[in-house]
Amino acid sequence: AHQWRGVIREYADRLPMLDGAPVITLHEGGTPLIPAEKLSERVGAEVFLKFEGLNPTGSFKDRGMTAAISMAAKAGAKAVVCASTGNTSASAAAYATKAGMTCAVLVPDGKIAMGKLSQAIAHGATLLQVDGNFDDCLTVARKLAEAYPVELVNSVNPARIEGQKTAAFEVADALGDAPDIHCLPVGNAGNITAYWKGYREAVEPSRSGAPALATRTPRMWGFQAEGAAPIVLGHPVDDPDTVATAIRIGNPASWKQAEAARDESGGVIDKVSDEQILEAHRLISSSEGVFVEPGSAASVAGLLQQHERGEVPAGARIVCTVTGHGLKDPAWALKLADGSEVVPTQIPVDAMTAAVELGLEG
């Protein structure tokens, strides 16, 4: 019998930083790369969705958190802290619990999805709602970690990037090479940094001499929400705003690294509107059968925008990471394109009425 052992054990040969650390894992990673036929047809390319919502806490953060918490355990830490728009806090809370550590999370007041809040609380984290945005939360978290005996597990912690780079290894493994283009939502910019590191390392043999996973690197296409697009604008945004609360960030910690990923890969970092994000969100669930949270849909919204601008090469192999599960923030699915609420049709206990309503009869 064999089951996926989590990213640290599966990719130990490419994660030297984790040598000697106790492995704290919920068996994250090993997520499917799903061919997206409708999307492929629409943009005239071969599109895949890397469905990161299928990680243990429902987002890609688990890849980085297994590494960050394992390193914290190695250092003898008893407590961890993070700032979060929701998913990092859910993941930190779960992995801290697994390691027997306490976890404190700082979240922006009123701007985090219910599913994520529930997870942090269910896993016993101490949750503080900060009267400010994510960037303010991160400032407070950094200060706490400097002054007190708590480990910071945001993506400024290099172990987070190490863990998250394994997603690029999985894509290269699944396709037999790197794709031509890789699309991602960009918030604090840790993930685009991690993927680019992963793809660069994937073209090298592993340290024990296992063959390279890829022969080339992809172009990195990152997408911010229009109301929270500091990298696109070239300056921090004081009051970031978007329906995609996951990426509601005005001053990304890995700003420089994201620009490097863009420039070194010959890629782009652009912005998409909330309307485009919600349209892509609906498209992914209604035509591909994959339910993601709004922030995740920024990758697909960006791909569609690039297609409309004639920037998608015919037949290119494209991977869009969809970063978090739709159940994290399900309310958006119950809103129609015009903003009105979906109201289920009520019927009595009667098969004939059901048949008529379903268009099977009369």
What residues line the site for ligand F0G (CB under 6 A)? 59, 61, 84-88, 155, 185-191, 246-247, 293, 295-296, 323-324
Please state, in angstroms and as integers, the Cα–Cα distance from residue 113 to each residue in 87, 93, 240, 322, following that order. Answer: 9, 16, 16, 17
Beta bridge partners of 130: 108
Closest separation in Å from C-beta 42 to ligand F0G:
22
Q: Rounded CA gap, 89 and 82, in Å?
A: 7
- 226 close to 270: Cβ distance less than 8 angstroms: no
Q: Which is nearer to ligand F0G, 73 or 249 (CB)?
A: 249
Closest separation in Å from C-beta 170 to ligand F0G:
17
Q: Which is nearer to ligand F0G, 187 or 240 (CB)?
A: 187
The per-residue b/e assignment along 215-227, b for 16 or more CB within 10 angstroms, e otherwise, is eebbbbbbbbbbb
Q: Which is nearer to ligand F0G, 165 or 219 (CB)?
A: 165
Q: Rounded CA gap, 90 and 109, in Å?
A: 16
Give phi and psi for 84, each to the nearest 5. -160, 145
Closest separation in Å from C-beta 280 to ligand F0G:
13
Please state, in angstroms and as integers, the Cα–Cα distance from residue 270 to each residue in 2, 4, 186, following that order. Answer: 42, 35, 9
- 220 close to 184: Cβ distance less than 8 angstroms: yes
Closest separation in Å from C-beta 295 to ligand F0G:
4
CA dihedral 120, 121, 126, 128 (to 10 degrees): 80
Q: Which is nearer to ligand F0G, 187 or 218 (CB)?
A: 187
Beta bridge partners of 341: 335
Q: Which is nearer to ligand F0G, 6 or 53 (CB)?
A: 53
Closest separation in Å from C-beta 185 to ligand F0G:
4
Q: Which is nearer to ligand F0G, 24 or 106 (CB)?
A: 106
User: How many residues would you count in the chain?
Assistant: 362
Closest separation in Å from C-beta 353 to ligand F0G:
41
